[in-house]
Amino acid sequence: MFTLFYGLYKYLVQKDDYCVLIVGLDNAGKTTYLESAKTKFTKNYKGMNPKQITTTVGLNIGKITVSGIQLNFWDLGGQEELQSLWDKYYAESHAIIYIVDSNDRDRIPESKETFDKMISNENLSGIPLLVLANKQDIPESMGVREVKPIFNKNAHLIGRRDCMVMPVSALTGEGIDEGINWLVDCIKRNSDVRPPRNQQETS
C-alpha cells in the first residue's frame, strides 16, 4: 500500500524533465551563462566567481526549475577537439542554446561554421534554438542586428523550428530571464514532438 501511495505522490509532485544543450566555441561564456541562470532561478544559490571559471573540458551540468518544469542544462566544452562529442547528446536534448562571443569578431566565421554543422544534424531537427549574442556588457561587442544576419545566412539549415537571437551578458545577468522564459514556452509547445524525459521513461 505504501508503494502505491508513494508512486502516486511521486507522480503528482514530479515535474516534467527536459534537457537543454549549451554549446558554442570555447571562451564564448557558456559556463558563466549557466552559473548566471542558476543564480537567477535558484533561491539562495551563490554562483561561482566568474574569475574562477575555467575552460570546460567535457561537461558541466546544472538544473533549474521554472514555470513548473525542470530544465537540465548540459554545458559542453567548445574546443575543436571536443566538438565531435556534441552529437552524442543531440537525440536526448529538447532545446539548444548556442552562445556567440559577440566581442570576438575574428572568430565569428569559425563560430558560424560550427553552428551550421551542429544545426544540420538530423537529431536536432525541429527542436527550439536560442542563439545568444553574449558579452553585451562590452561596449565594442556586436549587437543582435549584426549577429543575426550572419547566423541566418543558411536559414534552410535552421528549418521550421522556434528560433530566436537575443542579446545577453552572462557576466551581469542581463537578458538571462527573457531567454530562458522564451525557451520554456517553446519546449512546452514542442513536447508532443519531443516529450519530457520522465514521460519517455514511463511510456
Q: How far apart are CA 95 and CA 4, in angstroms?
A: 34
Residue that has been written with the C-alpha cell 566544452 in this structure: 77
Give the separation between CA 17 and CA 21, rounded to whole angstroms.
14
Mark the binding-site residues for GTP, compressed into ranges. 24-31, 78, 134-137
144-151 vs 108-119: helix axis angle to the nearest 10?
50
Give the whole-angstrom CA distance, residue 117 versus residue 190: 23
Which segments of 14-152 does DSSP mark as H helices, in order? 30-41, 87-90, 108-119, 144-151
Binding site residue list for Mg(2+): 31, 56
